Amino acid sequence: MVGASASSRQIPALDGIRGVAIFWVVLHNATAMELATSSRWLHLFPLLASRGWIGVQLFFALSGFLITAGLLDSQQTPHYFRDFYAKRALRILPLYYAVLFALLVVLPRFIVLPHSREHEALLWLFIGNYTPSLPYGFGHFWSLALEEQFYLVWPLVVWRLTPRRLLTACLWIAVGALLLRCVLAAYGADSWTLYANTACRMDALALGAAGACVLRIPDLRAIARQRQADVAAAALLVFLLGIPLTHVYDNSHLAGETLGYTLLALCSAVFVMWIALLGGHAPYGVGWLLNWLPLRSCGKYSYGMYVFHNLLHKLVGEPWIIARFGKLPPLPIVFVYGLVVFLVSYLVAFCSYHGLEKHFLKLKRFFDSG
């Protein structure tokens, strides 16, 4: 039974989910370049890598689940808002602003970097998800901005609501996000708005939050536990039905960026809830995979990996691979390159965590008033 945020956070398999998500996202961004054609088995690799943005949807669902679980379990604490915002700040801001300071303030004094300073303020203010014109290498920071906006508002939403009422609100928010994307698309909104605007992507966060609510409503939790196999099968069926409906979740087309986002949000949220419900001990090898130590380790350092991977790729890796192999590098080379970016990102994130982040995380104990 998942009855407290602590128990949710202590399920090792949830780090495994982060590991899956970060692997897919890094592979996606590190291989987002024109490739030479290949007739070998690697021709499936571009299809898998190009759908790596789905990893962000998985991140959002997991974030919505864990943040809401913590907020629901701390509603009656004396410093509900202070504790939440302080802990989020200690987790996110030290590394984030250290990277911005190093790359936008210090480094330009010594070398010329390939980005303009025109939109730097958007990064400092966490509003970079409202324009695709972020400084070169920082394009992936849009999702960090969206998450921070969610953290800012969500405690106010959860504060006075019971889990059952919050569940209803979450479902309506998810429906609203889908309808908003449909309306905006009908009026000619660009793909970036549908992809990165906070209101447009609230379905994944809200449905993840709905999963946390279900596990805190005794009768619904009991039903979910009794019908766990049916719940998992239904989520898988929804995912499979979405494949033809969205042309294999192609978010460059209308069906993918409207219906596709919501289907993936639903599947991701149910998957996270299912893993939490089972305490990480899922059948069919899923539990084994998510509890696999290397994957959990990637999940532990996933925040740093997310921050660093695209900067390493855009500022170092991509210029090198193009200079070495031309504008159409061979597919096997790019495959290996994507794995190298992943491994280097892991090493940098490992050093960042132990050299910087964990010292701030130790301060969280001063904000445990529950």
How does pLDDT run across 21-57, given as a tens digit for each residue?
A: 999 999 999 998 876 665 555 667 777 888 999 999 9
Per 3-state DSSP, the chain is made up of helix, strand and coil in percentages (nearest 5) of 75, 0, 25
Would you give the DSSP letter of residue 268?
H
Distance between CA atoms of residues 260 and 195, nearest Å:
11
Unique residue bearing structure tokens 């855009």: 314
Would you give the DSSP letter of residue 257?
I
Unique residue bearing structure tokens 């050093």: 351
pLDDT score of 6: 40
pTM: 0.94
pLDDT score of 169: 98
The yes-or-no verdict on residue 2 having pLDDT over 80 is no
The yes-or-no verdict on residue 363 having pLDDT over 90 is yes
Q: Which residues constitute the domain of residue 168? A: 5-367
Given CA atoms 155, 161, 162, 164 in this order, what sign does their dihedral have? negative
The yes-or-no verdict on residue 109 having pLDDT over 90 is no
Domain count, the chain: 1
What is the mean predicted confidence (pLDDT) over 316-335?
89
Distance between CA atoms of residues 11 and 15, nearest Å:
8
